[in-house]
Structure 1
Amino acid sequence: MAGRITTQAFFDRSTGTVTYVVSDNATHAAAVIDPVLDYDFKSGHTSTRAADEVLAYLEEKGLKVEWILETHAHADHLSGARYLQERAGGRVAIGENIREVQATFKKLYNLERTFLPDGSQFDHLFKEGETFRIGEVEARAMLVPGHTPADMAYLIDDSVFVGDTLFMPDVGTARADFPGGDAATLYRSIRRLLALPPSTRIYVCHDYPPAGRSPRWEATVAEQRANNIHVRDGITEEGFVAMRKARDATLEVPTLILPSIQVNVRAGHMPPADDNGVAYLRIPVNALPRNASAGGAPDPARR
């Protein structure tokens, strides 16, 4: 039934990220999806402007947080999950394939021995097709790998929150060249999403609007199938893979990939502080592929 939930979006212009609060109208229970912790790369300082906007809304509406849902370990912003949890409660959850991502990046960062790539940093790991509740509303976790192995979408009532799989129809789809990513897998995940009823509302995790358009983050399955520039009906898997590989080869490495992932695989926790009481982020030198970072697409976040 439609009308059982309220969805409120918060757009972070600095990273193009959309955080959602989804609440059950009957019980005022809520889930927060993909919260942002602000990070200034130049100074190394974090701040909580984006997360505080979410907290203010939760307080204003009298909402009780039951879940803080991550769609994946983001490469373009630090997670605000733990900050929100400390102030509003809820369980921090992600898909169970986060273990694969953790194992990959534990090696890249040479993380401390006590960091275990077993998902235990999160309060809950969703399996494919697992159902859960936000108040009285049933939700379902959908594994949609391709951008990364651990991407999840969350189907809540008549809406689906798709993370970094689909973007708005005039922007297209996510890149598939991160460790463990695969363009063919991404295509199949997207076609699963587009097999949902045509009126299903798709909420994207990012928007990078073309010139002249304001940020947007909602489109129906029917609109995506008719108009998405990368995966509209009629585009084959072979054609999509060829397009995605060619496009990905032109994209720069996201600006915040190195600081963000080492925090996000920890469910939003900072690394353990050194004996001087300061936490340090590790930047591996000459370890990531450069892609087009020496002269490719001018917008490093664009997919």
Structure 2
Amino acid sequence: MKPCHDGTGERLAEMRTVGVVGLGKMGRPIAGHLLEMGHRVVGVDLDPQAGADLEAAGMQRGAGPDDLVGTDVCLVLVEGRAVARIVLDGGAYRPALKDCLTLVCSTVEPDLMRTLHAAADVAGARLLDAPLCRGDHGARQGDLLALVGGSGTALRECEGVLQAFCSDVVHVGGPGAGQAAKLVNNMLLWSNIASVVEALQLGEALGVRRAAMVEALLPSSARSWVLETWQRPRDLPWAHEDMRMVLEASTEAGLSLPLTGLVHELIKGTRARGVLRDGGFQADGWLMPAYEDEA
């Protein structure tokens, strides 16, 4: 893992007991990596079958977030709207999390993240926002990027845990900064997706096979992560939610982002045409109609 970008290089002792809330496409492989690295893992999910295979590998099953008492680090990997229900209890910081270091790895609004940080401060608890980039493929490979907001000291405490599933960790600033950075990442990602889809559709309409077009673009000035991973199976269902958060944040900041608004509409149109069938990308790539010799 590349060093955390907080300027100190100091590492503290690695934590050994890790709670993972949410054992879905991100949480399940992350919990697996933690077990492989020798950590004790307590897994929590509403679905009692989620991550069931990890119990044979030593994962302890918790019925809910209140079963995380005694953990050193807790990773919250649930859908964004559920994050507050995990971290807060009756509007106050959840007592079961007070003595552990909690990392919100889900993507949530920066304002909500700052509210959670404020609740943690009142309770004397430790909290970091640490949303993850590179999706479920990165989770399976263990090469995620964490964008961390909050205390640099707290980040150094959990470096050993992050090493289990991240190849890159960047400390981007104070409370909420990690979520702000993730919104910027998502804004650029979906803008790139929209432009690449339209560009390849143009190439095909003009008679250039998609595979040949991608091969030609990769060494060009148009190269991008979207092109580099064109054939990678993926599941990215959150386009509309991502863009909604970006637009709301820009409104709160008093910024006009006309291109982002257009991308939001383009993404909705792309979904309607089936390119994002069922809200995600399937094993046949980005689901644009293939030429006969590429089928």
Global fold match (TM > 0.5) = no
Higher strand share: 1
Give the TM-score, by structure 2 length. 0.32
Higher helix share: 2
